[in-house]
Structure 1
Amino acid sequence: MSVTPALVSFRRMIVDKDFDGTAVDGVANRELLHAVAALYDQSLPDVTRDIIYTHICKPSSRSVLFIRDAQGAIREASERGCKRKVSDFPDDDVTSKETENGANDDEDSKSLFDDVFSDSDDEEQEDEEEEDDDDEEESEDFSNGCEDFVRAVKRRRRLRQKGTFTQESVGIESRLAAAASYERLVGKEDDGIIQLSLISVRKRFRKRGLGKRLINMIKDPTVMGSFKCIIAYVDHGAIEFFRKHNFTDDVVVSSRFKHLAENWENSTFMCYLPPYSDIGPVPQLTSKVHQDALVLFQLDADIEDWRKSAVEVHQNHALLVQRLRNEMLRLTAQVRNQEEIILSLKTQLEQITQEKNAMEKEFDTFRSTSKSSYEATVSAMAERFLDLKMPEAGAPDAQQP
């Protein structure tokens, strides 16, 4: 598939009054911005338009676009036709009225950009998109004019439905095939870090290698300049795609850069580390031998840094092992002392148990002897009591007065 890459800064094109010209011939810069936002909007249904516009219009943000040739887009449009019905869209007068009233657009149930691209929704997705939220106050409303863009898209589609296939009926929405937005992080710790924020390929043009070309272009130091790492929050369904292009989600490696970007829900942090040979253009070193020498120099410098850090790590390990050894000796002595205490307590327990058994035996003997003596004493006392209370047998009754 033939496309022409374009590297643009939307903020500069929109805000900078000194900027003269267009990024794509015959396409207004605002219209190109809205087309890219619409492409991301279709791939990111859970992300609002405001967030999309904020990310692609940051001062440090750049976008790589794949644009199809106008004549090729016209030929394809004339061959495939348009599958939508004219009745699906309101007339221009009705649309204008809705815009004036501002009360007939149902944004809750339908995105404004749903009708920009006529791709079917049942195609398998190859590329996913990632987001990194970075709040920044913007004085410029970059989404301004998106409603006019959508109405222009609908008018061009009606022309194609009526059999008109010219540059007037085939706009940028028919030529934009893929886009990726990134920003180079600025700061002492962030120096040399590139964050890939958004990447999307139009559904109709997927499975044609455009996603691979986008990633390779962003990884190319001749395009991006020298960098240390590319970071991205990746949707779970796109992890394998990024792994095929040497991105890693290794916990140890990713932890080195993960704190540089805010976390996004339902996504995985991944990063790409360039090989040593991927150095940026060095004008003073034009010779291939000099380029190879610089690569070896950088490799040797990194190995030396690793050796120094490895020695320090080994020293820390040795100190830790020595302290652990001393701690083990202390614990061993403590266990041995506790074992002696336990043995002494066992001996005392046995002695107390023997004394307890002897006392129980003596108590049983005393109890049996005391019981017999007690019964005899009680019996004797009962007999004496009876003898004292009962009158003598045969004694005469008291005399009557």
Structure 2
Amino acid sequence: MFSTKKDFALLARQISLSSRETTTETSTPFLVDIYQIRLWKLLNKPEKADVEAMAQTFQCNPQELLHTIVALYDKSLSDIGGETIYSTICEPKVVTILVVYDDPNIVLKQGTMSAIVTNEEDCLDTLLEDVEYPDSVFDKVFSDPSSSESSDEDEDNSESDDDDNEHDYSIGIGKFLEKVKAGKLNLHKRLISCLSFQKMTIFPLPTQEEHVLDLQLLACRKKFRGKGIGRHLMKLLMNNDYIGEYDAIITASDQSAIDFYRKFGFTEDAIILSKYKDIGDCWTNTTKMCYLPPYNGKGKICF
């Protein structure tokens, strides 16, 4: 029930985000573009128009887009691990929202298009065998210091094949890192935040149907925190005009982001969460939280 069902879509162009920083009359507005993508479809059953639009916008192929997103998540949420991130955001029903910023003070080189890599030896496991410190695989993709930065505080019904869970989506990572090092990609210099979620239907009782949003991952590059990015993404996720009707949002928050989620009405209440115990994952050192939207008495969510 999204406002758009495209696998690659521009949701908003050049929107100005409110910052916690003091602004002056001479301050440059912080303008970003917001995109929606469905990685599983782009990688497995792509529509030609979506792939062409993505390539024109980001100057990369779907595989390179995936690696860039994983690099941002892995840099920000290092406790989860690259392999888990790949499998999570490549689930058939997962939607990822991208926040892209084009710094007016930086001139980017034109990206070069490459074919999808099919060499199964070019994968994350192979790299980890050769790297002394596995956490360093994505270190050179983003220049920000590594830290926990999951917040911004300081319905597709396609089903995968039976063997889809065994697919290694990290294939091509070596080629991707080579292109980043050679300056042949530039999306990693533009992508500053991501949010991944899926909308699920559950039946707490045989006659009771509920729509639940599983907010799986949220990350913002450290140098761009405090600019209202996380706040904008949360408001978008809670917006019925975008997401449709829903009964709850479930997430696993790292310890540094608990207060951020509380500001949006999330709770750690064990009784409420017991109803949704089978929704979502609990990553290392995280706390499961739940948001229940207010109702206006007519069965509709109000804000």
If the length of structure 2 is used for normalisation, what is the TM-score? 0.70
Q: 1:144 to 1:20 in 2, by over 3 A?
A: farther
C-alpha separation between the residues in 1 aligned to 2:202 and 2:193? 30
* CA deviation vs aligned residue, 1:66-92 (integer Å, no higher than 9, x gap): 112xxx33x43359xxxxxxxxxxxxx
CA drift at 1:19: 4.3
Q: 1:17 to 1:297 in 2, by over 3 A?
A: closer
Match of 2:234 among 212, 215, 224: 215
Residue 116 of structure 1, aligned match among 138, 141, 157: 141
CA distance in structure 2 between the aligned counterparts of 1:55 and 1:17, rounded to whole angstroms = 19
Query: Any idea what SS the aligned residue of 2:180 has?
Result: helix
Could you tell me how far apart the structure 1 residues matched to 2:215 and 2:84 are? Answer: 15
1:172 paired with 2:183, answer no
User: By how many angstroms is 1:186 displaced?
Assistant: 3.7
Please list, as runs of the form range in 1=range in 2, the aligned pairs for 1:97-108 lying within 5 A after superposition. 105-106=130-131, 108=133
Q: Secondary structure of 1:177's partner?
A: strand
Q: Which residue of 1 aligns with 2:246?
A: 227
SS in 1 for 2:31: coil
Structure 1 residue aligned with 2:6: none
What one-letter code is carried by the residue in structure 2 that aligns with 1:235? Answer: D
Question: Of 155, 173, 177, which residue of structure 2 is paired with 1:146?
Answer: 173
C-alpha change, 1:199 and 1:262, in structure 2 (3 Å) is closer
**How far is the alpha carbon of 1:214 from its aligned partner?**
1.1
**Could you tell me whether the CA contact under 8 Å between 1:37 and 1:53 is conserved in 2?**
yes
**Distance apart, 1:263 and its partner CA:** 4.2
- CA 264–31 in structure 1, closer or farther in 2 if over 3 Å, else same: closer
Query: Which amino acid counterpart does residue 210 of structure 1 have in structure 2?
Result: I
Partner of 2:199: 184
Matches of 2:165 and 2:232 in 1, distance apart?
A: 32
User: How far 1:18 moved relative to its partner?
Assistant: 4.2
Verify the 8 A CA contact 2:100 2:193 in the aligned structure 1. Answer: yes
Q: Which residue, 275, 285, 289 being the options, matches 1:256? A: 275
CA separation in 2, counterparts of 1:262 and 1:239?
16
What is the Cα-based RMSD across aligned positions, in Å? 2.7
Distance 1:231 1:155, change over 3 A: same
Q: For residues 32 and 296 of structure 1, do their structure 2 counterparts lie closer, same or farther at Cα, with a shift above 3 Å needed?
A: same
How many residues matched? 236
Using the TM superposition, give the Cα deviation of residue 106 of structure 1 relative to its aligned residue in structure 2, in angstroms.
Answer: 1.0
1:205: which partner in 2? 224
Task: State the distance in 2 between where 1:121 and 1:262 align.
Answer: 23
Decide which of 242, 253, 261 is 2:261's aligned counterpart.
Answer: 242
Tell me, in whole angstroms, the C-alpha distance in 2 between the residues paired with 1:152 and 1:242: 36
Structure 1 residue 232 displacement after superposition: 0.6
Aligned residue for 1:21?
50
147 and 107 in structure 1: CA distance in 2 versus 1, 3 angstrom threshold: farther
SS in 1 for 2:287: strand
CA distance in 1, matches of 2:50, 2:217: 25
Matches within 5 A, 1:231-310: 231-276=250-295, 295-298=296-299
| Greater helix share, structure number | 1
Deviations 1:24-67 (A, max 9, x none): 31332221111100000101222221110110000111101111
CA distances 1:123-165 after superposition (whole Å, capped 9, x unpaired) = x84618xxxxxxx852532111111111111111xxxxxxxxx
Seen in structure 2, the aligned counterparts of structure 1 residues 207 and 109 have a Cα distance that, compared at 3 Å, is same
Secondary structure at the counterpart of residue 136 of structure 2: coil
Q: Which of 67, 72, 89 lines up with 1:39 in the alignment? A: 72
Please list every run of 5 or more consecutive structure 1 residues that lacks an aligned counterpart in the other structure.
Answer: 80-98, 129-135, 157-167, 277-294, 300-401
Q: Secondary structure at the match of 2:261?
A: helix
Amino acid at match of 1:45: S
Q: CA deviation at 1:207?
A: 1.1
User: Conserved in 2, the CA contact under 8 Å of 1:10 and 1:62?
Assistant: yes
Larger strand proportion, structure 1 or 2?
A: 2
Residue 105 of structure 1 aligns with an amino acid whose one-letter code is D
CA distance in structure 1 between the partners assigned to 2:264 and 2:100 by the alignment: 23
Alpha-carbon distance between aligned partners in 1 of 2:146 and 2:280, rounded to the nearest angstrom: 31
Instruction: Name the larger-Rg structure.
Output: 1
Larger deviation: 240-249 or 250-259? 250-259
- Residue 143 and residue 206 in structure 1: after superposition, are their counterparts in 2 closer, same or farther (change >3 A)? same
Instruction: Return the alpha-carbon distance in structure 2 between the equivalents of residues 66 and 258 of structure 1.
Output: 30
The whole-number CA distance in structure 1 between the counterparts of 2:83 and 2:96 is 17
Decide which of 151, 154, 161 is 1:127's aligned counterpart: 151
